[in-house]
Amino acid sequence: MFKKLISKFKKDQQEEDVNIQEEPLDEMLEQDEETDEENTEEDCAEVEQFEDSEEAPFDLEPWNEDEAEQDITHGQEPQVIESEPEKIGFFAKLKEGLTKTRQGITAKVDQVLKAYKKVDEDLFEEIEEILITADVGVSTTMDIIGKLRSQSKERKITEAEHLRGLLKEILADTLDLDKSHELNIQPLPAIILVVGVNGVGKTTSIGKIAHRLRSQGKKVLLAAGDTFRAAAIDQLEIWGNRVGVDVIKHQEGSDPAAVVFDAIQAAKARKIDVLICDTAGRLHNKTNLMNELGKVRKVVEREYGDASKEILLVLDATTGQNAIQQAKIFKEAVDVSGIVLTKLDGTAKGGVVLGISSELDIPVKLIGVGEAMDDLQEFNPNDFVNALFGDES
């Protein structure tokens, strides 16, 4: 019976891949206007909550435009932003943020391992079903179960409870691609292009990355390259004001490549350490969007060839397998070097991290496990798996 379930998943995935090839990703990259506006309002409302809240998620002096301009333009060392004392450590935040995913994967795995005394094929099928329903993906799940089956035989594991440790090892290996999970910003200066469809938390992630880098003492500049979405420029300015960094912008509807060009010239003149560029998340169709991204990349290569480069793709974990399909499309258009996975704390579909790593061979670099400014964390495969299993780091 379970083999029919697997067959159905494979058939559905094949049909989805065919549809993606036939359709220019209209449904994925061109979300309807109402959804787009709602996402914009929600993102701006989230930022405005920071302004109105008596307990801000980080401790920052009120924004003063003149002081900020003096800080950057005259080459003074940027002020290090002091965050509020953390109530809980980063790993504790990670465990808390993965609660829903843990309930959807490892809590169920633990129940199954307790129900079985001996390792047999029925046990493997039970674990298989758990991983698939947690949006790990059919092909990734098959690979994991295949390793679990073969390595348990090699190690002569016969007791079901002893599979838990082996499963942890395999999941950690799946996430560790022998690639760096740190942002590629060394040597300075560096430029980060942030791509992704609208509504995934792209602008919010840019603000949090800027805060993270500035708190490390780096000079940061933002470029409002998403000139097509209504209020995108204003939203980035709100984050820039909140974090205390300047934003290079043009009028709405301007050429994104021209914005990036001006931002690069400003970064050079002001001796900026890291330039972070927002990009369009939607145009009239997939081809136009990818052409715009291609133009931006050419400007970066021509004008900032010596800078360290990072192209981050922002994905929404709550979309599950759809996030993997988005990643495949963007990977075809630009040389995506890292993934930012947002909203992990709000979904039981955190298994998509495994699918992204396995199927796309792109390292996950940052994950969002909460609403606070410091809840965008660096991704560590071992810490992630330990938190997923509820173990200590």
- What's the pLDDT at 267? 97
In sequence order, the 6+-apart residues with CB closer than 8 A to the CB of 92 are none
Q: Residues of the chain with pLDDT > 90: what percent?
A: 46
- 209-222 pLDDT, tens digit each: 999 999 999 999 99
Q: Which DSSP letter does residue 254 get?
A: -
Side-chain half-sphere exposure of 392, counting CA atoms within 13 A: 0
Of the pLDDT bands very low, low, confident and very high (cuts 50, 70, 90), residue 314 is very high
Pairing status of strand 364-368 against strand 376-378: antiparallel
* CB 223 within 8 Å of CB 247: yes
pTM, two decimal places: 0.75
Decide: 278 and 248 in contact? Cβ < 8 Å: no
Which one-letter amino acid corresponds to residue 35? T
Helix (H, G, I), strand (E, B), or coil: what is residue 218?
Answer: coil
Rounded distance between C-alpha atoms, residue 157 and residue 179, angstroms: 31
pLDDT digits (tens, 9 = 90+) for 182-231: 999 999 999 999 999 888 989 999 999 999 999 999 999 999 999 988 78
As a whole number of angstroms, the distance between CA 306 and CA 180 comes to 20
CA distance 309 to 131: 35
78 Ramachandran zone, left/alpha/beta (phi>0; psi -120 to 50) = beta
